[in-house]
Structure 1
Amino acid sequence: MARSPDRALDRAITALLHEAVEHSRAMRQVLNQVGQLASLRITMLRGDDESDPAGTAQSEVLSPLTKREKEVLDQLAQGCSNRQIARSLGISERTVKNHLRNIFTKLGVGDRTSAVVKALGRNGDH
């Protein structure tokens, strides 16, 4: 039968392994988002615009957004934090979070990077 210190050590090792797995998943998600943005940046630098030249596809994507949500999204695309967006627009961070939640819902995305990619007219599936 295992001794108490051995069991405690086993639990600690197991907990750390679980943390490592979760960290790995989060890191893969971040790397995927960085890849999407890098792909978008390269496409923009080359001038390879897969979207509608008139910009109508982008307009359709953004049409459900309010003027303020578009302003928040614009700040988001510039890499601003919630705090920076709040200061820039003269609103609270809580209001920024509410706008972001509405933007994510309206654009059908789950995170900041996907919202920016979609708003810029790319689906991120290159």
Structure 2
Amino acid sequence: MARSSDRALDRAISALLHEAVEHSRAMRQVLNQVGQLASLRINMLESSESSEKTLTEVLSPLTKREKEVLEHLARGCSNRQIGRSLGISERTVKNHLRNIFTKLGVGDRTSAVVKAMGRMN
């Protein structure tokens, strides 16, 4: 009897793990789509001159590399993913993020992306 209950428990755990993996894949797809939309919004705002403080003005203090880091940030990438994608260390990514936060006058990743999307003054 103990073996059949162990097998049932194993099947239940396996089913839960499978469900978690599927959920994780779905969440990654959603995050990727959100990142693509954020990038699209950034591009649209860069070309729009109707806003009081244009995105170009907001992002002008950033270096090319900092803008690349910010784009990856908008896609929801982790520091490790950003570093791998750009061929730099996580420590360098953290340094770029610190500089981005300082230049944009924000304190965290989310605020940096929101400001870059033109939703903060």
What band does the TM-score fall into relative to the shorter chain? 0.5 to 0.7
Aligned with residue 97 of structure 1, among 94, 99, 105? 94
Give the TM-score normalised by structure 2. Answer: 0.58
1:1-126 equivalence runs, <5 A: 53-54=48-49, 57-123=54-120
TM-align CA RMSD: 2.8
Gaps of 5+ in 2: 1-33
Q: 1:51, 1:121 within 8 Å by CA — same for their partners in 2?
A: no
Paired residues in the alignment total 79
Give the TM-score normalised by structure 1. Answer: 0.56
Gaps of 5+ in 1: 1-36
Q: 1:51, 1:122 within 8 Å by CA — same for their partners in 2?
A: no
User: Take 1:103 and 1:58, find their aligned partners in 2: how far apart are those partners?
Assistant: 14
